[in-house]
Amino acid sequence: MRSTPFYLAALGLCAGIGAGALFLGSEEPEAPPSAEQTNGANPGAESDSGGTVLDRDKDSSSRDDNRFSLGAATDVNLGFTDEGDAQPAEPPQPETEKSAPLPSCSLTSTPAKYVAYKDWDRTLLDYTYKLPKDYAPNDLVSVGRAGLRGNGMVREFVVADLKKMGEAAAKAGAPIEIQSGYRSYADQEATFQRWVNTTNKEHALVASARAGHSEHQLGTVIDVRSKGEGRAPWSYEDWADTKAGAWMLENSWKYGFILSYPKGESETTCYMYESWHFRYMGIDGAREIHESGHTLREYLWSRQDNS
């Protein structure tokens, strides 16, 4: 058996010492700062609220890597944790398809993408998108069919859950009535013009939706008021502070209704906060929106064909 020549053993020892010194002498880079999401604020409308968009693509996190440099063009990940345990390097993750970002609130009149009556839970209406003038569901019935006092009509399939919601509110000691329901294109045109005449157009744009842009034309929206008080919900400083308003804010989603224009979200929803304006999205849809923490406009935008 031949012994290993001395000069080979010495060479191996030097190489080991050199590599160790190279690693110990390197500095771990600081984690890059996390990007911030921005929120904005824009004015709103009678049944609708306005503005800038959250950049969800900026919601990112960073991972500290133990790295050392072998040269200007090479960066090697050793896969060490903070405790020093060697870990296999993570495999590259496939890129996920990103939906188009939520557009800012642009005061235009573009036909909505989904305007068939069967698309009631997919139709997006805001500062930009609108319904055609002749959109008028043929299954409208009085809100009285739901056992509630008040004005207006809703589509027939809304009645069952509206009735359950009214009964639950009454049982909780927070009875409700309906201030308004369906509005035709012509009705909304007159409503908006009244705002212009009594204030000015600039204020009208934040207090009332233009004709075609109002969710009321869908026949799946209700403005809710407190029972027996004889006051419109917008006559309060904040109707959500009343017993009925607070109950609706907390429980409406359980019966398929979502607040379209929540407080503090005007920049996202395009309209001012309206504590009384609820859109029926069905039990499953409302639960999904509620649990997501997103506004109705964000949810509907995610369901558009934005390719």
Cα–Cα distance measured from residue 206 to residue 196, given in angstroms and rounded to the nearest whole number: 11
Which one is predicted more confidently, 105 or 90? 105
DSSP 8-state code for residue 289: H
Rg (C-alpha) for the chain, rounded Å, is 29
What is the C-alpha separation between 113 and 119, in angstroms, rounded? 10
More confident residue, 287 or 88: 287
Q: Report whether pLDDT(5) > 70.
A: no
Write the DSSP symbol of residue 142: E
The 3 state secondary structure assigned to 79-110 is CECCCCCECCCCCCCCCCCCCCCCCCCCCCCE
Percent helix, percent strand, percent coil in the chain, to nearest 5 = 35, 15, 45
State residue 307's pLDDT score. Answer: 52
Q: What is the pLDDT of residue 207?
A: 83
Q: pLDDT band for position 202 (50/70/90)?
A: confident
Confidence of residue 16 (pLDDT cuts 50, 70, 90): very low
Q: For the residues 62-68, what does the mean pLDDT come to? A: 35
pTM score, whole prediction: 0.69
Query: What percentage of the chain exceeds 70 in pLDDT?
Result: 67
User: Alpha carbon 42 to chain centroid distance?
Assistant: 15
**Which whole-number Å values give the CA distances from 83 to 25, 30, 86, 90, 301, in the listed order?**
18, 17, 9, 17, 44
Task: Read off the pLDDT of residues 106-149 as tens digits, 9 standing for 90 and up.
Answer: 899 999 999 999 999 999 999 999 999 999 999 999 999 999 99
- pLDDT band with cut points at 50, 70 and 90 for residue 81: very low
Cα separation of 305 and 188, whole Å? Answer: 28
Average pLDDT of the chain to the nearest whole number: 77
Residue 100: predicted pLDDT:
80
Measure the CA angle with vertex 43, ends 233 and 249; round to 5°. Answer: 40
**Model confidence at 195: pLDDT above 70:** yes
> What is the three-class DSSP state of 261?
strand
Please say if the pLDDT value at position 272 is more than 60: yes
- DSSP assigned state of 178: E
The pLDDT-based confidence of 44 (bands split at 50, 70, 90) is very low
What's phi and psi for 4, nearest 5 deg? Answer: -70, 130
pLDDT of residue 205: 85
CB 272 within 8 A of CB 56: no
pLDDT confidence bin for 164, thresholds 50/70/90: very high
Exposed e or buried b for every residue in 69-98, given b needs 16+ CB within 10 A? eeeeeeeeeeebeeeeeeeeeeeeeeeeee
Q: Which of 219, 216, 225, 217 is nearest to 149 (CA)?
A: 225
Instruction: Kindly state the helix (H) or strand (E) to which residue 49 belongs, with its residue range.
Output: strand 48-50
Average of per-residue pLDDT across 260-283:
95
CA angle, corner 143, sides to 137 and 187, nearest 5? 50
Tokens of 173: 């000691």
Give the confidence band of 42 by pLDDT, cuts at 50, 70, 90.
very low
Both tokens of residue 68? 């050392």
Is the pLDDT at 185 greater than 60, yes or no? Answer: yes
In whole angstroms, give the CA distance from residue 224 to residue 143: 11
In the predicted model, is pLDDT for residue 204 greater than 60?
yes
What does the pLDDT average to over 67-83? 38
Cβ 132 vs Cβ 115: under 8 Å: yes
34, 57, 64, 81 from 61: Cα distances, Å: 6, 11, 10, 17
Q: What's the average model confidence in pLDDT over 284-301?
A: 97
Please report, rounded to a whole number, the percentage of residues in the chain having pLDDT higher than 90.
60
